[in-house]
Amino acid sequence: MKIAVCISQVPDTATRIKIGSDHKSIDPNGVTYIINPYDEFAIEEALKTKEKIGGDSLVYVISVGDDSVKETLRKALAMGADEAVLLKSSSVKDSIGIARALSEEIKSLGCELVFCGKQSVDFDSGITGQLIAEMLGYNCVSVVVDFKLDGKKITAEREIEGGREVVETELPAVITAQKGLNEPRYASLKGIMAAKKKTIAEKPAVDLTGYTEILDMHLPQSKQPGRILGTDKSAVPELVRLLREEAKVI
Amino acid sequence: MADKIFAILEQREGSLKKVSFEVASVAINLANQLELQAEAVVVGNEINNLNDLSKYGISKLTHLKSELLANYSPSAYAEAIASFAKESGAKILIFPNTAMGVDLAPRVAVKLDAGIVMDCMKLEVKDSEVIATRPVYAGKALIDVKLNSDVKIFTIRPNVFKPQPVDSASLQTEIKQVENPDLKTKVTAFKKSEGKLDVAEADIIVSGGRGMKGPENFHLIEELAEALGAAVGASRAVVDAGWRPHREQVGQTGKTVSPSLYIACGISGAIQHLAGMSSSKYIVAINKDKDAPIFSVADYGIAGDVFEILPALTEEIKKLKS
Ligand SMILES: Cc1cc2nc3c(=O)[nH]c(=O)nc-3n(C[C@H](O)[C@H](O)[C@H](O)COP(=O)(O)OP(=O)(O)OC[C@H]3O[C@@H](n4cnc5c(N)ncnc54)[C@H](O)[C@@H]3O)c2cc1C
Ligand SMILES: Nc1ncnc2c1ncn2[C@@H]1O[C@H](COP(=O)(O)O)[C@@H](O)[C@H]1O
């Protein structure tokens, strides 16, 4: 079976965001990039699934992005993915366009099982997996914390408000990974060496046009620094008074 | 007749959730400005509190009904909503940005060839266009976006848009039976977590960090939460340490929350934590280090020991409530 993992590259979560001069994107100066944290769970689950079903299964990692994304793809290869595909584009950020490019590639590779992260921590939309599934006519379970594949049958648990839903479906399917699904492995030295020798297939991303138009990017209004009311429990009554009378939240 | 704007309501276990009224209010508000007609749509079987909707000024509700659709089923719900939206010519659909809404809205978008903006915190009308404002980079920045598609979908963050009751309103409900729903993907069970309230839905959150010293001390957090009717949250440090479950994690790789009140106890305020909670209306920090970054976003702070402050605070709240 062929398994695809869609991975995106995002600014390190410790990045302090500065707005770029176009007022529509961030200032890339000094930003370091990492693999989207949720996508590590997606890669791990794909590798585990491959190990479990054995045979001549292959794991493909696919990303839509510019040349800098190759580094992230190589990390996924080092973790154990078999092949990597870069769908080249210069920073388009519309989920529908990205999902369309990814679906085309997944279709032409013939992958029956697709893993995504539940959300990329840059634009935080959390929809790419569901879009891909709908475009390909695949089943989909999102925000998955437990995944079992038995033949073609899938039993998964997804996190929702106040608990977990147990969901049943079957291949072909897209699964989006939530933290808790597994513990991503570290790349072994051997993996890192092997990844260096692999070639990353590069193709132009097809038709990335979407419908969103960013008009402006800005920083949230910064708050007035708050009041420190004291250093011990004698400040508690005043705190409660303020919450009640000034903030009116309790 | 005016084009339609749909408020897609959410029900669980046969009750409309609070966020449904927020969605309805947003739809009415946009409809008034755009001269569209707002209608509500809900998928499910028996739903016990549909009449509560009349308070918010929606005049028509369509209940897409089937015994097989009592529980959420992604494929069937998406199909039911999309085909009804198509036949009624809906131009704008508003969903809640909940677990269900995030799962459902993109599927409906593909079926309707609609553009989609998730997690909106503000929806404004300018020159007859809807301009949506949403957080990116977990709230470290905001973007204003518009959609260039014929049909447009927006999901709204819970707790941000307050439902506005109106005086005179009559609600007309129409039931449409859903035939042969597509159940290729179906929910077969729901495992409730022991926690009482989910951080994503709570109006008040009391969160604990590494300053709580160990899982055995979280009863102090739980007791305050209980007194306030709040949910318990956590920093990643304590989730990674296994003291608290991941569903309680607030931050860039946890939940992004906007409650009315967020009380951070023994949390330093790392950038990834702030990203997830800095849009809370009021923030209280309790931390013995007066230079901790959490104080830079807090409205009120006590620079003291959680083990001394928390019990006193819980007492004071209990006094107030009794
Ligand atoms: C990729 C990535 C993603 C991340 N995502 C998240 C996320 O989603 N959410 C998140 O929270 N973090 C996240 N982090 C981690 C983040 O960087 C911090 O490490 C974490 O938030 C620290 O948790 P903390 O504040 O509980 O612990 P600490 O930073 O150790 O702070 C403990 C605080 O408790 C105070 N304290 C100690 N004793 C007492 C006492 N007796 N009374 C009062 N105060 C006391 C100390 O002064 C200190 O300020 C992420 C990190 C990375 C790299
Ligand atoms: N540019 C991209 N290339 C490949 N996969 C992506 C890309 N953007 C998003 N994804 C995948 O879709 C998931 C959800 O992203 P999003 O919908 O942007 O929050 C991510 O965790 C990735 O698995």
Write the CATH number for A100: 3.40.50.620
| Domain membership flag for residue B182 | no
Q: Residue A135: inside a domain, yes or no? A: yes
Per the structure, the complete domain to which residue B131 belongs is given by: 4-177
> What does the alpha-carbon distance between residue A241 and residue B300 come to, in Å, rounded to a whole number?
11
> Which has more confidence, B97 or A226?
B97
Q: Give Dmax (Cα) for chain A.
A: 68
pLDDT digits (tens, 9 = 90+) for B68-82: 999 999 999 999 999
The predicted-structure confidence for B138-162, as pLDDT tens digits, reads as follows 889 999 999 999 999 999 999 899 8
What average pLDDT is seen over chain B? Answer: 95
The residue out of B129, B159, B177 marking a domain boundary is B177
Asked, for residue A232, whether it belongs to a domain, the answer is: no
Distance from CA of B2 to the nearest CA of A (A): 24
What is the C-alpha to C-alpha distance for residues B113 and B151, in angstroms, rounded to an integer? 7
ipTM for the complex shown: 0.94
Is A31 a member of any domain?
A: yes
**pLDDT above 70 (res B59):** yes
Q: Does B287 touch chain A (CB under 8 A)?
A: no
Chain B: closest CA distance from residue A80 (Å):
24
Which residues form the domain of A65?
2-204
Are B226 and B169 part of one and the same domain? no
**Quick check: helix, strand or coil at residue A148?**
strand
Percent of chain B with pLDDT over 70: 99
> What pLDDT was estimated at residue A90?
78
Question: Domain total for chain B?
Answer: 2
Q: Whose CA is nearest to atom 26 of ligand 1?
A: B209
> How would residue B166 be classed by pLDDT, with cut points 50, 70 and 90?
confident
Which residue type is seen at B48?
N
Same domain, B213 and B153: no
Q: Does B107 touch chain A (CB under 8 A)?
A: yes
Distance from CA of B182 to the nearest CA of A (A): 11
Q: State how many domains chain A has.
A: 1
* CA pair distance B197, B158, nearest whole angstrom: 14
Which among B185, B193, B197 is the nearest to A139, CB-wise?
B185
Measure the CA–CA gap between A189 and A81, rounded to whole angstroms: 14
B291 near A CB under 8 A: no
pLDDT at B176: 97
The predicted model scores a pTM of 0.95
Q: Which secondary-structure segment (H or E) carries B318?
A: helix B306-321
Q: Is residue B190 one of the residues assigned to a domain?
A: no
For atom 9 of ligand 2, the residue with the nearest CA is A8
Residue B150 located in a structural domain: yes
Tens digits of per-residue pLDDT, B239-266?
Answer: 999 999 999 999 999 998 989 999 999 9
Is the pLDDT score of B195 beyond 90? no
Are B170 and B250 within one domain? no
Q: Which of B4-8, B105-109, B128-132, B168-172 has the lowest mean pLDDT?
A: B168-172
Tokens of residue B150, six digits: 């014929």
- The answer to whether residue B16 sits within a structural domain is yes
pLDDT value at residue A91:
63
- Tens of pLDDT along B114-125? 999 999 999 999
- Domain match, B248 and B170 both: no
Residues of chain A in contact with residue B139, where contact means CB-CB under 8 angstroms, are 220
Closest residue to B99, CB basis, from A160, A166, A226? A160
pLDDT at position A223: 76
* Within a domain: B189: no
Q: What is the DSSP letter of A245?
A: I
Share of chain B above pLDDT 90, in %: 89
Q: Which helix (H) or strand (E) holds A8?
A: none
With tokens 């260039």, the residue in question is B148
pLDDT tens, chain A, 250 aa long:
999 999 999 999 999 999 999 999 999 999 999 999 999 999 999 999 999 998 899 999 999 999 999 999 999 999 999 999 999 997 666 899 999 999 999 999 999 999 999 999 999 999 999 999 999 999 999 999 999 999 999 999 999 999 999 999 999 999 999 999 999 999 999 999 999 999 999 999 877 888 999 999 999 987 777 899 999 999 999 999 999 999 999 9
Domain boundary pick from B162, B177, B192: B177
- Cα(A193)–Cα(B162) distance, integer angstroms: 55
Which ligand 2 atom sits nearest the alpha carbon of residue A127?
A: 17
**Facing residues of A146 across strands?**
A157
pLDDT reported for residue B1: 65
Residue whose token pair is 């927020």: B22
Assess whether the C-beta atom of A43 lies below 6 angstroms from ligand 2. no
Each as own residue / partner, the long-range contacts of residues A24-28 (CB below 8 Å, 24 or more positions apart, any chain) are A24/A214, A24/A215, A24/A216, A24/A217, A24/B143, A25/A91, A25/A93, A25/A214, A25/A217, A26/A217, A26/B137, A26/B141
Residue at A139 is within a domain? yes
Q: For residue A250, is it within any domain?
A: no
User: Is residue B91 included in any domain, yes or no?
Assistant: yes
